[in-house]
Amino acid sequence: MINHLGRYVLMLIYMFSKPEKFSVYWKRFIDEIVQLGIKSLFIVILMSAFMGAVLVIQTASAIESAWIPDYTVGFTVKQSMLLEFCPTIISLILAGKVGSNIASELGTMRVTEQIDALEVMGVNSIGYLIGPKILASLFIFPIIIIYSMFFGFLGGGIVCELTSIIPVEQYLEGIRSFSYENYGHIRYALIKTSVFAFLITSISSYFGYYLKGGALEVGKASTNAVVYSSIFILFANYILTQLLLI
């Protein structure tokens, strides 16, 4: 355990050493934004829209009471999406998609000696391979989460429009209610997302980069990356919620 922690910290230290050539690293950064972020956008939008729709139906059916106004549904959906669903659940989904991708990519590069080739050339392989991934995720994941929030609300709105479960106006009123709190909640969600982005990319990179063995170990590294990223996201979620919301 201490051995793993030490290597993980060393990996992060090496990552911040001076790039050999800034323009090459910049290109890698842009490529990683596309690879890790833009290519995950579709699944995030799809999940968020359906989750928003389901949340509306579930909430509306749970609070069928004449004493509770309809806009409560919109308010509840907003709070759920902003505080937990978008930053945490979407990050867990990204841990599965992006984490396994990173671990298997770096693991395959290790097995096929591509990382050794970089080292022999005199390239800081950790800085070149892992640095842009972490920076790109820190940049693009919060943007993805903002999209997730928007499409989650949209999904809920579409369900209201199609099923008349509650009037759309009431739903929108709920979304807009207590707007003075929204800024703080969005900031909380984005801080959480940034921490999760760092955990997903760094933990997955660690498992891929330090892989030993062959194809079988690439699969194991990929699984470990997802499992450990998810566990650390859940821990970090609890700690950040305690620190930022109370």
The Cα 32–Cα 24 span in angstroms is 12
Residue 113 or residue 181: which is nearer to another protein going by CB? 113
The reply on whether position 21 binds another protein by CB under 8 A is yes
Which pair of structure tokens corresponds to residue 18? 């001076």
- Rounded to a whole number of angstroms, the minimum distance from the CB of residue 24 to another protein is 6
Among 58, 79, 114, 241, binds another protein (CB under 8 A): 114
Among 6, 9, 26, 116, binds another protein (CB under 8 A): 116
Amino acid at 4: H
Among 117, 231, 239, 245, binds another protein (CB under 8 A): 117
Q: DSSP characters for 161-186?
A: HHH-SS-HHHHHHHHHTTHHHHHHHH
Residue 112 or residue 163: which is nearer to another protein going by CB? 112
The reply on whether position 239 binds another protein by CB under 8 A is no
The reply on whether position 30 binds another protein by CB under 8 A is no
The reply on whether position 112 binds another protein by CB under 8 A is yes
C-beta of residue 148 within 8 angstroms of C-beta of residue 92:
no
- Rounded to a whole number of angstroms, the minimum distance from the CB of residue 127 to another protein is 12
Among 13, 20, 61, 62, binds another protein (CB under 8 A): 20
Q: 57 burial class (0-12, 13-18, 19+ CB within 10 angstroms)?
A: middle
Among 26, 34, 113, 184, binds another protein (CB under 8 A): 113
The Cα 217–Cα 111 span in angstroms is 9
Q: How far is CA 243 from CA 8, 80, 191, in A?
A: 25, 19, 11
First and final C-alpha spacing in the chain: 32
Given the rule CB under 8 A, which of 87-95, 118-126, 177-185, 225-233 is the region that contacts another protein? 118-126
Q: Which residues bind another protein (CB under 8 A)?
A: 20-21, 24, 108-109, 112-114, 116-117, 119-123
